[in-house]
Structure 1
Amino acid sequence: MEDFRELLDDCVHCGFCLPTCPTYQLWGEEMDSPRGRIHLMSQHEQGAPLSGPMIEHFDRCLGCMACVTACPSGVKYDRLIEVTRAKVEDERPRGRTDRLLREAIFAFFPYPKRLRLLRGPLRAYQASKINMSPLLNRISPTLAAMERLAPPRASHVRLPERVAARGERRAVVGMLTGCVQREFFPGVNAATARVLAMEGCDVVIPKGQGCCGALSLHSGRAAEARAFAKKTIETFADVDVVVVNAAGCGSAMKDYGDVLADEPEWAERAREFSAKTRDLTEYLAELGPRATRHPLEITVAYHDACHLAHAQGIRVQPRALLAGIPGLVIREIADPEICCGSAGVYNLLQPEAAGELGDRKAANVSATGADLLVAANPGCSLQIATALRRRGEEIAVAHTAEVLDASIRGIGKEQLSPRR
């Protein structure tokens, strides 16, 4: 792993990051900008203790990596904030309430089977149409945020362990099903498997797969992230390509080489695994289209998920795939580099800031006049849809895989219904 102090020294404090940093845009506070946080990191490296205000500035960072894209000096802020958050968790015990909330979040979200247990109560609650937000807000803003962002009702989809290619086989790929994606957006996984198969891929979907560790990695839970990474590497050991349809997951998996760099028995395997990880749109662009696209007369607003656009540098491929659908029109969203406020579990732990960012993004989405919002991350979809509802608006939301699936199968735009 690179020397932390050398990474800090790469920052020349030029300020190119400021216009793209969501929290700096919200508050105009230097210590809530990337270069300000790097200054705080340097102070800590020089012996300053982790004070409460210092930790608050680190916690307020979304980890959106817009600053990485903007930086002319190539500062690896993504590595800096990950290491710093791990130090915070190791060196400064959190207060009882904060600790319990974080433990509750991480006791469920990275574990699909546990998330599945929430499906029944969630369906009953949503069917009751009881508004618990005022009460929950008094108890905890985090609990109120969980209620507002509760995923839509969805029927469970059981995917086979292997989906055969249609026509002549072009490749064999592994597919990550994820945690929130698997349990609350199963239609995205089903569409992903179908699209890959219709494009000539045998799709291997290991039954025993679990969390990739993205939420843990981005929240400073380093040991937990390493354990999830090792299991994921072992799970997909027998495939040459691993396709991912959630931006945050793909970003974390491409970072395994750094995550496990200090463990000699895992370092090389981790680097090889990262090299074979592909976002769905990235892989489809590499593979090239074979299946016929049927017309979809629809206008879509494409949202750049931060961990796809900034962390993975994938912007052109999803737009090109959507543009290849006859009849489909893409409308760009203003200020695409500014995060929607989802950022893993940020919208649960920092609900006020996340809400402001969500409202800004929702206003920009609404201004496009599009029929459909397309996003590559389940958290983004939930965050923006929730913000639009606060405006009294509703829009259909879909993953790129679902739009491609609808076009290739010729089932029409009616299948791309709003997620409530």
Structure 2
Amino acid sequence: MTALNDPAAPDDPAAANGAGAGEAPGTGTDVTAPREGELPRLLSDCVHCGFCLPTCPTYVLWGEEMDSPRGRIHLMQQHVDGAPLSAPMVEHFDRCLGCMACVTACPSGVRYDRLIEMTRAEVEQDHPRPVVERLTREAVFRLFPYPRRLRALRGPLRAYQRTGLRRLMRRSGLLGLLERVSPSLAAMERLAPPLGRPLPRLPERVAARGERRATVGMLTGCVQREFFPGVNAATARVLALEGCDVVIPRGQGCCGALSLHAGRQEEARAFARRTVEAFEGVDVIVVNAAGCGSAMKEYAQLLADDPAWAKRAESLSAKTRDLTEYLVELGPRARRHPLPVTVAYHDACHLAHAQGVRSQPRALLAGIPELTVREIADPDICCGSAGTYNLFQPEAAAELGDRKAAGVQATGAELLVAANPGCAMQIRDALARRGDRIAVAHTAEILDASLRGLNRSSLLERPI
């Protein structure tokens, strides 16, 4: 199992699977298209009842039928019936966050998640985007799924934040100028989290404390690994303190979530194959980023038509768990020390809607003595992060971020807890625009602080 032990495993999944740098690896089987008849069958499940409307973030913002799941399904049906993918039609598909709140709300069991995924794959394959938009999207997908490229960006970005250039950029009005020239680049500047000194790389194995109860693999991710390394370190410590040997394969890379949810299916499959290979030696895989866990649980469907990988993908999907999901299954063993802090818990869409993980993080937080959990109003409405959405649809994302930030402020909490790096960056930015200094932490960091007996200031005195 070379991917588990090779510290120099390539950042490019195509290379990891033996294909050329520009090739899509695999068996040669065309697995890009949906199964024959699948799209019309799934479309026919919708009875246009409208239960999805109040749960859809873009419909809540604008009240526009074509920017609701029901409206987008109508457009999909038009396309199936022969209408071309026009620019206005594609715009309505692009405005969808893919948050899956409508899937949770639908009484008919409509697989809107699968519908928008297949539709976006067709858009990526068949719709010619304007040059600037195409270049922007390509730049994003050539950067964010690659940890080594993100790591190379850390140094210059940290210098930009620490030398006063960021403050100058904002006070001089240059950021406003950048927003007019490239809203996506401006969004990247605003969303970038404050960066401290790089943490030491996690070892390939973290030993359980006390009697070993389980051996688990741990996904380190891309943005999580390079911009939020403290979350991964806290995750490994919590698992070890609960009696788990933690295996952290060096050969792992991006899980493919960003590509999958943007319709770049063949790219997502390449990332998926590499992830499957990296984790085949473990019985359980623990994931601490909602979007990543959601994507990995979809591998069985993503690679179902690839004979060489279908069974292996199905096995990985079956053993993937969100961190909080797994800790509740395992049961607590380590002592929880008091942590007198009031937190607001944010439901990440790909955790609550895609994975159905809602009660577990709340149960873990409730098990910490002296910690108080407060609920945020309209928890099912997305914060606007949605993978790359806040980069490609920054205005809509900012509106949703402002709504979520107002909900957080209304709780009166001292600390926001979020289980996804994109959500953390998105809500942090929205709070900062409102002049709020609420700190943001991951569920793993809260548990880590309690298990190690840290004081509340270790969480509250954090840069935002």
TM-score (norm 1): 0.99
Distance 2:309 2:97 in 1: 29
Cross-structure match for 2:455: 412
1:261: how far off?
Answer: 1.1
Find the partner of 2:187 among 145, 148, 155.
145
1:57: how far off?
Answer: 0.2
Q: Which amino acid aligns with 2:148?
A: K
Q: Which amino acid aligns with 1:411?
A: L
Find the partner of 1:25 among 60, 69, 93.
60
Indicate yes or no: 2:123 matched with 1:88: yes
Distance 1:387 1:418 in 2: 17
Kept in 2, the 8 Å contact 1:395–1:418? The answer is no
The one-character-per-residue Cα deviations of 1:177-219 (angstroms, maximum 9, x if unpaired) are 0000000000000000000000000000001210000000001
1:35: how far off?
Answer: 0.8
Does the residue aligned with 1:89 lie in a helix, a strand or coil?
A: helix
Kept in 2, the 8 Å contact 1:181–1:188? The answer is yes
Distance 1:336 1:86 in 2: 29
Q: Which amino acid aligns with 1:264?
A: P
Find the partner of 1:363 among 375, 391, 406.
406
Kept in 2, the 8 Å contact 1:23–1:32? The answer is yes
Q: Which amino acid aligns with 1:97?
A: V
1:21: how far off?
Answer: 0.1
Q: Which amino acid aligns with 2:126?
A: E
Cross-structure match for 1:377: 420
Find the partner of 1:312 among 355, 366, 379.
355
Cross-structure match for 1:14: 49
Does the residue aligned with 2:343 lie in a helix, a strand or coil?
A: strand
1:402: how far off?
Answer: 0.2
Indicate yes or no: 2:104 matched with 1:69: yes
Cross-structure match for 2:177: 135
Unaligned runs of 5+ in 1: none
Cross-structure match for 1:291: 334
1:319-358, aligned counterparts within 5 Å? Answer: 319-358=362-401
Does the residue aligned with 1:122 lie in a helix, a strand or coil?
A: helix
Kept in 2, the 8 Å contact 1:20–1:337? The answer is yes
Distance 1:85 1:24 in 2: 19
| Aligned positions, number | 420
Distance 1:249 1:48 in 2: 34
Does the residue aligned with 1:264 lie in a helix, a strand or coil?
A: coil
Kept in 2, the 8 Å contact 1:161–1:207? The answer is yes
Kept in 2, the 8 Å contact 1:10–1:73? The answer is yes
Indicate yes or no: 2:278 matched with 1:235: yes
Distance 1:12 1:186 in 2: 45
Kept in 2, the 8 Å contact 1:154–1:184? The answer is no
Distance 2:444 2:196 in 1: 17
Distance 2:304 2:88 in 1: 31
Distance 2:463 2:233 in 1: 16
Does the residue aligned with 1:265 lie in a helix, a strand or coil?
A: coil
Find the partner of 2:256 among 206, 213, 223.
213
Cross-structure match for 1:186: 229
The one-character-per-residue Cα deviations of 1:345-399 (angstroms, maximum 9, x if unpaired) are 1001000000000000000000000010000001101110110111111111100
The one-character-per-residue Cα deviations of 1:8-66 (angstroms, maximum 9, x if unpaired) are 11111110000000000011011100011011111111111000000000000000000
1:414: how far off?
Answer: 1.3
**Runs of 4+ in structure 1 displaced over 6 angstroms?**
none
Does the residue aligned with 1:212 lie in a helix, a strand or coil?
A: coil
Kept in 2, the 8 Å contact 1:209–1:232? The answer is yes
Question: What value does the CA root-mean-square deviation take over the aligned residues?
Answer: 0.9
Does the residue aligned with 2:216 lie in a helix, a strand or coil?
A: strand
Cross-structure match for 1:257: 300
The one-character-per-residue Cα deviations of 1:244-275 (angstroms, maximum 9, x if unpaired) are 00000000000001111111221111111100
Distance 2:316 2:198 in 1: 29
Distance 2:227 2:83 in 1: 43
Does the residue aligned with 2:245 lie in a helix, a strand or coil?
A: strand
1:124: how far off?
Answer: 1.4
Q: Which amino acid aligns with 2:462?
A: P
Q: Which amino acid aligns with 1:221?
A: R
Kept in 2, the 8 Å contact 1:343–1:379? The answer is yes
Indicate yes or no: 2:154 matched with 1:119: yes
Distance 2:443 2:97 in 1: 24
Distance 1:273 1:209 in 2: 14
Q: Which amino acid aligns with 1:39?
A: H
Distance 1:154 1:77 in 2: 40
Indicate yes or no: 2:212 matched with 1:169: yes
1:154: how far off?
Answer: 2.7
Distance 2:180 2:76 in 1: 34
Distance 1:232 1:34 in 2: 31
Deviates further, 37-46 or 184-193: 37-46
Kept in 2, the 8 Å contact 1:154–1:186? The answer is no
Does the residue aligned with 2:416 lie in a helix, a strand or coil?
A: strand
Cross-structure match for 2:87: 52
1:143: how far off?
Answer: 1.0
Distance 1:379 1:255 in 2: 20
Kept in 2, the 8 Å contact 1:137–1:144? The answer is yes
Cross-structure match for 2:40: 5
Distance 1:207 1:271 in 2: 22
The one-character-per-residue Cα deviations of 1:67-121 (angstroms, maximum 9, x if unpaired) are 0000001111111111100000001121100001001101110000000111111
Unaligned runs of 5+ in 2: 1-33
Indicate yes or no: 2:79 matched with 1:36: no
Percent identity of the aligned residues? 76
Kept in 2, the 8 Å contact 1:260–1:267? The answer is yes
Kept in 2, the 8 Å contact 1:323–1:329? The answer is yes
TM-score (norm 2): 0.90
